[in-house]
Amino acid sequence: MDSGNAAERLALALTRSGMQRMPARLLATFLFTDEPTLTAGQLTEELQVSAGSVSGALKMLTTVGLVEQAPAPGSRRDHYRMRDDAWATLFSHQNAVVRTILQAAEEGIAATTDDGPARRRLTQMRDFYEFVLAEIPALVERWKRESGTTHT
């Protein structure tokens, strides 16, 4: 199977698991490319889609920490790349979605009555995310040791 078909199959699997189609296709493209960076124009051309759909998908992938803007000296275009630490970032405080969830939980707790069921649920939500986020650094270090990777 060539990498183009494998990328499309991965994108389809990601879509079936709940990811929106265009971010899934972009993520698969970033995973399979041999290029150090890609521009929105290159992604548009590669996937034969509109610039707007690429822009929206790039925003989503950067928000969750899988893709980042990359330096490109001498280029007038924005360049993007898969983060070296993408998978750890996806579940860390660096992920804007997780930060938003924690902030929403805190605001919800502040807006609820003491000891009510809503407060207990929101507190449990906040406490769960804080617990998981506190465990991520140790898990990442363990993963680095066991996989032999040097990426941060």
Rounded mean pLDDT, 46-52: 95
SS3 (DSSP) at 81: strand
**Which is nearest to 96 in space by CA: 59, 57, 54, 128?**
59
Compute the mean pLDDT over every residue in the chain, rounded to the nearest whole number: 89
Q: Is 47 or 141 the better-scoring residue by pLDDT?
A: 47
pLDDT at 5 over 80: yes
Joined together, the tokens standing for residue 12 give 């389809």
Q: Is the pLDDT of residue 113 over 60?
A: yes
Q: What percent of the chain has pLDDT over 90?
A: 57
103, two tokens: 């902030």
Q: Provide the pLDDT for residue 41.
A: 95
- For residue 152, the model assigns a pLDDT of 46
What does the pLDDT read at residue 38? 96
Q: What is the pLDDT of residue 150?
A: 60
pLDDT digits (tens, 9 = 90+) for 116-143: 899 999 999 999 988 988 888 888 889 8
Q: Answer for the pair 152, 84: CB distance below 8 angstroms, yes or no.
A: yes
Residue 26 confidence class, pLDDT cut points 50, 70, 90: very high
Residue 29: Cβ-neighbour burial (10 angstroms; 0-12, 13-18, 19+)? buried
pTM above 0.85, yes or no: no
Place 108 in a pLDDT band, splitting at 50, 70 and 90: very high
Looking at residue 1, what is its pLDDT?
54
What is the rounded distance in angstroms from the CA atom of residue 60 to the CA atom of residue 77? 19
**Over 80: is that where the pLDDT of 91 sits?**
no
